[in-house]
Amino acid sequence: MRVLSGIQPSGRLHIGNYFGMMRSMIGWQERSELFCFIVNLHALTTVTDGRTLAANTLEAAADFLALGLDPGKAIFWVQGDVPEHCELTWILHNHTSMGLLERSHSFKDKAARRETPHHGLFSYPVLMAADILLYQADLVPVGKDQKQHLEMTRDIAGAFNHAYGGPVFTLPEAAIDPGLATVPGIDGQKMSKSYGNAIDIFITKAELRKRVMGIVTDARAVEDVKDPDSCNLFAIARLFLDEEGERGLRERYLRPGLKYGEVKKELVERVWDFFAPYRERREALLGRPDDIRDILAAGARKARAVASVTMEIVRDKTGLRY
């Protein structure tokens, strides 16, 4: 079974990325043919500084490798290193209706946050469809909030298949893992780089402390019973607890006397300790940037070998090969 997923290098990776996608995706390398890539072309929709994007791309690769991605078990590359992504995107544009793109929840949300939303944001789902269909992926792990993107990919693939009279593209399924966490940010919204509410994975302890201590909580007094199910501090803290630890924290919430400040101080230590071994591996990797580039180049060659097979079929079907 072929599984595909990617992540944008639009900023430092945060714990929402890790618990929401990265941990689960890395797990797929043990039980599937995993295609994992850094989607730097998608990042162009928000990152307009070239040096920043280049640095973020290298750091995102180091993050994945440090967190356990094994390039010997998965194909790992950078999207922009495989030009077939852009070629297929243009072809798929011609089989994507305006109405389909106008219904995109993601575009509506992002457009509402920008003064002048551009075409890159509007056509984002077409590039995403090309990413998936290029490798004939069977499964794409996503959270519930991204299910529409997979449905749009299936619609685009179906339109192309119908136009050219055959099953050129595999219709991918969304692997909606109930274990994938939608992690709240420090303000209670979904944790996101673009919202400025994230707790980054690889930051100094002082930065970590500042972010955690800024987690918004309600105004209940110390002597009041707290509600763990409506508390974003609890929602974040539970990610770093085993079943017994989560149960113990819940019981503390339901008894008078709990201080949110104490829970935050405990969370700082848990987060710091949790990522300690990964932090050491990342620092070692970033000390050898050419090794990271070599890994990505090798991954791009493997990815392009697969992509070229799909594109030969597409070029033949569309008449681009004459």
Round to whole Å and give the CA distance between 61 and 296. Answer: 8
144 is catalytic: no
Catalytic residue among 73, 147, 190, 302: 190
Question: Which residues, 6+ apart, have CB-to-CB distance to 145 below 8 Å?
Answer: 182, 190
Between helices 105-112 and 124-133, what is the axis angle to 10°? 140
Q: Which residues of the chain have pLDDT under 50?
A: none
What does the domain layout of the chain look like in residue ranges? 2-183+289-318, 205-274
Q: Could you give the count of Cα atoms lying within 13 Å of 225 in the half-sphere of its Cβ?
A: 6
In this predicted structure, what is the pLDDT of residue 24? 84
- pTM, full prediction: 0.88
| Yes or no: domain 205-274 corresponds to CATH 1.10.240.10 | yes
C-alpha gyration radius of the chain: 21
Which CATH number does the domain 2-183+289-318 belong to among 3.40.50.300, 3.40.50.620, 3.90.190.20, 3.90.79.10? Answer: 3.40.50.620
In this predicted structure, what is the pLDDT of residue 120? 87
265 is catalytic: no
Which two three-digit tokens encode residue 302?
Answer: 């493997």
Catalytic residue among 73, 144, 147, 193: 193
In this predicted structure, what is the pLDDT of residue 115? 59
In this predicted structure, what is the pLDDT of residue 181? 64
Round to whole Å and give the CA distance between 255 and 143. Answer: 33
The H or E element that residue 43 is part of is helix 40-43
226 is catalytic: no
In this predicted structure, what is the pLDDT of residue 148? 85
The H or E element that residue 210 is part of is helix 205-213
Catalytic residue among 110, 210, 302, 317: 110
